[in-house]
Amino acid sequence: MVSLNSHKKNLYRFWKGEILWNKPMSQYSTLKVGGPAEAVITATDIDELTGLIKWLKENEISWWIIGRGSNILVPDKGLPGVTIMLEGKFTGIEKLFDLQDQAENHVFIRVGGGCSLAKAVNYCTANSLSGLEFAVGIPGSLGGAVVMNAGAWGYEIGDLLDSVIIMNGKGEVHEVQRDGLDLTYRGWGMKRDTILLYACLKLTINTQEEIKAACSRFQELRKKNQPVNELSAGSFFKNPPEHSAGRLIDEAGLKGYSIGGAKISEKHANFIINTGNASAAEILELMLLVQDKVYERFGIKLEPEVHILGSGI
């Protein structure tokens, strides 16, 4: 797979929509670091995306799919090839009446991969649908949430999934039932060139009062325990089995430790924050230091939860 180089003109001729050239990825990442993406393209429906993925495959060009950039670390040298984002039809939400199982008090909704979790939570609240309250304050997209099997306070998005519609690296579209996704703690088992187009969520009917109360409770917990006003990608490391990554980092004496503009949050040691002018290299250096110190002290290797984008698809 290669960067665009000699294919720039061909891409310009092929793609009818807007192409953003050399856009700093810091604009698309909540950590606000990362060098330029060679080209950024927004796909608005399945036909557009199929054409694009097939063209990229034929021309052997690297590509990336991102959501809201709230769980990625992009290197300072940027991303070669095409960075794809989902908009338009991929941001919609609809009720699937044919699947509705009144007897069990369940409602099924289909949410686009580019839809923000905030919009999905608001939709659920407005329609008296319970299940997604835990996602209040998670700043990602539905696509990113399914790929990460995002979760909080003991709940995971995977628990709500009925099925998904995905596109593979050849531009083919398939429906996959929940069990076929091999969901794990903060991940799914699909190949890296899989794009989440739509997810069908199974929700429970409840009163708006109870849904709103749960959302407020989770929001308060977040504000109390996490550095919500700092630049971060959320929890940087996965919790090792039987351990809390934040506690291990704290007990290794690293709370508040910084390298350049990258700092271990004083409020929650599993958050690496950008104090304003961090580079991706500084964040990576701090990540390695944390891994070394925690390993030295406890013999536990912390694994990043944040996806470090390196070589493309």
- Residue 64: strand pairing partners: 83
Catalytic residue among 186, 230, 232, 279: 186
What's the angle, vertex CA 227, arms to CA 226 and CA 233, rounded to 5?
Answer: 90
Is 183 among the residues that bind ligand FAD (CB under 6 A)? Answer: no
Is 37 among the residues that bind ligand FAD (CB under 6 A)? Answer: no
Q: How far is CA 275 from CA 73, 178, 222, 264, 285, in A?
A: 15, 39, 20, 10, 15
Rank residues 276 and 299 by Cβ distance to ligand FAD and give the closer one.
276
* Residues 105 to 124 in contact with ligand FAD, rule: CB under 6 A: 113
Q: How far is CA 52 from CA 28, 56, 82, in A?
A: 21, 6, 10
Active site residue 235: yes
Q: Which of 289, 297, 229 is CA-nearest to residue 260? A: 289
Instruction: Please tell me the distance from the alpha carbon of residue 272 to that of residue 255, in angstroms, as a whole number.
Output: 10
The two beta strands, 63-66 and 79-86, are: parallel
Active site residue 305: yes
Among the listed residues 25, 33, 72, 264, the single contact to ligand FAD using CB under 6 A: 72
Q: Which of 274, 243, 246, 248 is CA-nearest to residue 261? A: 274
Is 70 among the residues that bind ligand FAD (CB under 6 A)? Answer: yes
Rank residues 106 and 222 by Cβ distance to ligand FAD and give the closer one.
222
Is 69 among the residues that bind ligand FAD (CB under 6 A)? Answer: yes
Query: CB of residue 60 vs ligand FAD: minimum separation in angstroms?
Result: 19
Is 270 among the residues that bind ligand FAD (CB under 6 A)? Answer: no
The DSSP call for residue 116 is B
Query: CB of residue 104 vs ligand FAD: minimum separation in angstroms?
Result: 27
Q: How far is CA 121 from CA 84, 89, 96, 160, 206, in A?
A: 24, 18, 17, 13, 14
Rank residues 227 and 298 by Cβ distance to ligand FAD and give the closer one.
227
Query: CB of residue 68 vs ligand FAD: minimum separation in angstroms?
Result: 4
Q: What x/- string results for residues 149 through 178 when contact with ligand FAD is judged by CB under 6 A?
A: -xxx--------------------------
Rank residues 30 and 130 by Cβ distance to ligand FAD and give the closer one.
30
How far does CA 240 lie from the centroid of its chain?
20
Task: Number of residues interacting with ligand FAD: please give it, by CB under 6 A.
Answer: 30
Is 196 among the residues that bind ligand FAD (CB under 6 A)? Answer: yes
Stretch that binds ligand FAD, among 9-17, 37-45, 228-236, 237-245 (CB under 6 A): 228-236
CA gyration radius, the chain: 20
Residue pair 96/201 in contact by the 8 Å Cβ criterion = no
Rank residues 36 and 140 by Cβ distance to ligand FAD and give the closer one.
140
Binding site for ligand FAD (CB under 6 A): 30, 65-72, 86, 113, 138-141, 143-145, 147-148, 150-152, 195-196, 228, 232-234, 307
- Residues annotated as catalytic are 186, 235, 305
